Amino acid sequence: MAAESSNPRTVEEIFKDFSGRRSGFLKALSVDVDKFYSLCDPEMENLCLYGHPNGTWEVNLPAEEVPPELPEPALGINFARDGMQRKDWLSLVAVHSDCWLLSVSSYFGARLNRNERKRLFSLINDLPTLFEVVTGRKPTKDKPSMDLGSKSKNGVKRSIEGQTKSTPKLMEESYEDEEDEHGDTLCGSCGGNYTNDEFWICCDVCERWYHGKCVKITPAKAEGIKQYKCPSCCSKKGRQ
């Protein structure tokens, strides 16, 4: 029997499906590891490891139907068994199983909206991967970014410590993209070119960029400003 098919639709249902299949893999790679190892005979045909929504696992041939009802797991895991150390082979199977779990969840989540997909991934990401469990690695905590700067044109404020405060717009560009985007930006006060090793701040009114030192704004002070107005815009408002 190939992968058990269910039809989860909501974030909670898809995560429950993910968790059940993940539990099946964990059993195969830990409690039932000797049985799993013996079933993956290199003399057999292409074998796959399946995790089922009810928390069980199965080693079997891939689905005969083309295309299959669900994404297929890694094919032929048995062929590499005797050519590697046991722990390395189990780690390899764990990595491929992690990939399959994500692909199945993505398949079921195809009709979710952006916020629902984000919530689903957040739930999944809170669990250690099979690879981390099998190898005994602890999930690493996110390291704070060392990016310097202040406020990008898509509405995210950055302090010098790398902490972020999101305004309604979301920042998805990488550090390199930001540098390319602002490479030709000039300071509205001194006319100097943008560099990523200096603190900059953008005016919410005129959208001009300024060196923090030119407008006497520090990273710490910028964190407390909800809407920044440059000296020029402040003086214009005063004259009206």
Strand pairing partners for 65?
A: none
Rounded distance, CA 22 to CA 217, Å?
50
**For the whole model, what pTM was predicted?**
0.57
Which domains can be identified in the chain, with CATH numbers?
Answer: 11-135 (no CATH), 184-239 (3.30.40.10)
Q: How far apart are the first and last CA of the chain?
A: 77
**pLDDT tens, the chain, 240 aa long:** 455 556 899 999 999 999 999 999 999 999 999 999 999 999 999 999 999 999 999 999 988 877 778 899 999 999 999 999 999 999 999 999 999 999 999 999 999 999 999 999 999 999 999 999 999 987 665 544 444 444 444 343 443 344 444 443 444 444 455 445 555 678 888 888 877 778 888 898 888 888 888 888 888 888 888 888 888 888 875 554
Helices (H), 74-145: 86-108, 114-125, 130-135
Strand pairing partners for 48?
A: 60
Taking residue 77's Cβ as centre, other Cβ atoms within 10 Å add up to 21
